[in-house]
């Protein structure tokens, strides 16, 4: 995802499989559970922030006895640069994403870079149902047990959490006159923009990076996401594009032959466990999608150790003349840019379903209100041709959670259609920015649009 802010952060936390294309393909969100993310310690003291907790109400919108239950919501605070309440110095609030808030705080360099100039108090609030901010006694197993408990995991509840916490914090700091500016990237960027719209009396402005607020209903083409990925790779090399495009069928053809799966295992360095054509294709798909999302101009370590311009590096591996006409050798080199740039891996495990950043709740959100059509592929796509089909999503969600998605709810609650006209009449002080190589930019606002 985009530019120098933490503009990635969209999660998919379980693989939702559909029969549209020839392989089992996860909904492209961020990050998938099959990503081998580097496991950094999130429990050691960090000079970037201090960990605190706030007693948060479970349900902000009803007045039933259950609604008054509370949970401990975590937030991180940094007062190193703060000019103080007496000077009405600002508060920069990061609207937490779908994961452990420390992970995001450690990878959000932008607010720390500008802090010496603006002298803000930095506050990162963790999203309910993620990290340590777990309702129902802090027991994730109970909180995630069924739709009755998960029903409190919504974007509107999260926004109300942020408003309640920051108002209380300002009161305790005698900082009621300190202006609040909200920041976020991807889903967090969506929340930042929506927070400004819903709580203009709490926040004077918002910066939303790589936030696909228009990626709903019929506003954005379901082909947009994968078309941008295709353009990213094709723009580096026509041969790179052609090799990847033909590889899906070659994998299936090889897998169908006697001993074909063993050929694939050896070709891609897969560990000695189960392998199938679909699991291998999903593994490659993930590498391509998330490399496009993290195509930064500098080395990064947000998910895995990655070089600068990793899409270019993938295509260099594919175009390497040493691999001759061996499609699998070319793809192995490309996948290694994403999965093994450090060179430490001895084999790749397709069965790893670990969730090192605690992102598991996104599958619920993707089955209720976050219905982002992204799986369409036209004939020129780098991936096999497929159509976005809401019925496939609904079938999965009803089988897995027993709920029917509400694909129109987000645009009803926050807007989306004719959004520029709406924001000019209603919203203000919201900055949206995107990197045009970011697959999510197709569902975002125009570059440099400031409302």
Longest C-alpha distance within the chain, in Å?
76
Half-sphere CA count of 270, side-chain side, radius 13 A = 23
Report residue 210 as tokens: 């790589």
SS (H, E, C) 38-70: CCCCCCCCECCEEEEEEEEECCCCCCCHHHHCE
Alpha carbons 275 and 351: distance in angstroms, whole number? 8
Q: Please, where are the H alpha helices in 144-237?
A: 147-150, 155-172, 187-198, 224-236
SS3 content of the chain, % helix, strand, coil (to 5): 40, 15, 50
Beta strands across the sheet bearing 70-78? 50-57, 70-78, 121-125, 91-95, 180-185, 205-209, 430-433
Q: Using one digit for the tens of pLDDT, what is the confidence trace for 202-248? A: 999 999 999 999 999 889 999 999 999 999 999 999 999 999 999 99
Residue 113 banded pLDDT, cuts 50, 70, 90: very high
- pLDDT surpassing 80 at residue 299: yes
Q: What is the mean pLDDT of the chain?
A: 87
For range 148-177, the mean pLDDT: 98
For range 388-394, the mean pLDDT: 92
Query: What pLDDT score does 375 carry?
Result: 86
For range 116-145, the mean pLDDT: 97
Query: What pLDDT score does 83 carry?
Result: 98
Report residue 362 as tokens: 């996104």
Q: Using one digit for the tens of pLDDT, what is the confidence trace for 270-284? A: 998 779 999 999 999
At how many degrees (to 10) do helices 238-255 and 224-236 cross?
Answer: 110
For range 51-58, the mean pLDDT: 98
The structure's pTM equals 0.88
Question: Which one, of 99, 75, 63, lies nearest residue 165 by Cα?
Answer: 75
Q: Using one digit for the tens of pLDDT, what is the confidence trace for 416-449? A: 988 888 787 888 899 998 888 999 999 998 644 4
Using CA of residue 303, residue 304, residue 310, residue 316, what is the dihedral sign? negative
What is the separation of C-alpha 217 from the centre of its chain, rounded to a whole number of angstroms? 19
Percent of all residues in the chain with a pLDDT value above 90, rounded to a whole number? 72
Q: Using one digit for the tens of pLDDT, what is the confidence trace for 71-107? A: 999 999 999 999 999 999 999 999 999 999 998 998 8
- pLDDT surpassing 50 at residue 357: yes
Query: What pLDDT score does 295 carry?
Result: 93
For range 120-140, the mean pLDDT: 97
């Amino acid at each position: 995802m985009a530019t120098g802010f933490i503009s990635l952060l969209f999660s998919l936390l379980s693989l939702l499989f559909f029969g549209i294309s020839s392989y089992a393909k996860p909904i492209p969100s961020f990050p998938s559970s099959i990503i081998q993310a580097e496991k950094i310690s999130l429990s050691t003291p960090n000079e970037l922030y201090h960990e605190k907790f706030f007693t948060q109400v479970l349900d902000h919108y009803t007045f039933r006895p259950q609604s008054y239950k509370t949970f401990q919501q975590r937030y991180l605070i940094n007062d190193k640069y703060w000019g103080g309440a007496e000077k009405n110095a600002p508060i920069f609030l990061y609207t937490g994403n779908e994961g452990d808030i420390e992970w995001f705080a450690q990878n959000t360099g932008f607010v720390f870079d500008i802090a010496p100039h603006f002298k803000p108090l930095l506050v990162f609030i963790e999203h309910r149902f993620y990290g340590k901010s777990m309702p129902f006694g802090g027991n994730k197993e109970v909180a995630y047990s069924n739709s009755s408990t998960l029903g409190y995991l919504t974007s509107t509840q999260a926004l109300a959490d942020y408003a309640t916490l920051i108002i209380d914090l300002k009161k305790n700091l005698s900082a009621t006159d300190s202006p609040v500016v909200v920041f976020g990237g991807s889903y967090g960027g969506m929340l930042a923009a929506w927070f400004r719209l819903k709580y203009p009396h709490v926040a004077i402005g918002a910066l939303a990076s790589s936030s696909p607020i228009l990626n709903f209903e019929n506003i954005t083409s379901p082909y947009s996401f994968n078309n941008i990925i295709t353009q990213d790779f094709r723009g580096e090399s026509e041969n790179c594009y052609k090799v990847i495009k033909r590889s899906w069928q070659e994998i299936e053809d090889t897998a169908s032959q006697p001993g074909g799966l063993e050929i694939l295992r050896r070709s891609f360095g897969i560990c000695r466990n189960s392998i199938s054509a679909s699991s291998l294709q999903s593994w490659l798909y993930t590498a391509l999608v998330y490399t496009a999302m993290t195509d930064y101009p500098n080395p990064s370590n947000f998910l895995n150790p990655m070089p600068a311009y990793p899409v270019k590096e993938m295509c260099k591996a594919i175009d390497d003349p040493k691999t001759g006409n061996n499609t699998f050798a070319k793809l192995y080199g490309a996948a290694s840019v994403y999965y093994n740039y450090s060179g430490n891996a001895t084999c790749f495990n397709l069965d790893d379903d670990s969730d090192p950043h605690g992102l598991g709740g996104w599958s619920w959100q993707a089955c209720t209100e976050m219905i982002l059509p992204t799986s369409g592929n036209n004939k020129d796509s780098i991936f096999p041709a497929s159509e976005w089909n809401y019925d496939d999503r609904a079938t999965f969600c009803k089988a897995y959670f027993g709920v029917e998605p509400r694909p129109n709810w987000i645009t009803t609650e926050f807007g989306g259609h004719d959004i520029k006209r709406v924001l000019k009449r209603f919203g203000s002080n919201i900055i949206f920015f995107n990197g045009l190589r970011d697959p999510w930019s197709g569902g975002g606002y125009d570059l440099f649009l400031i409302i």
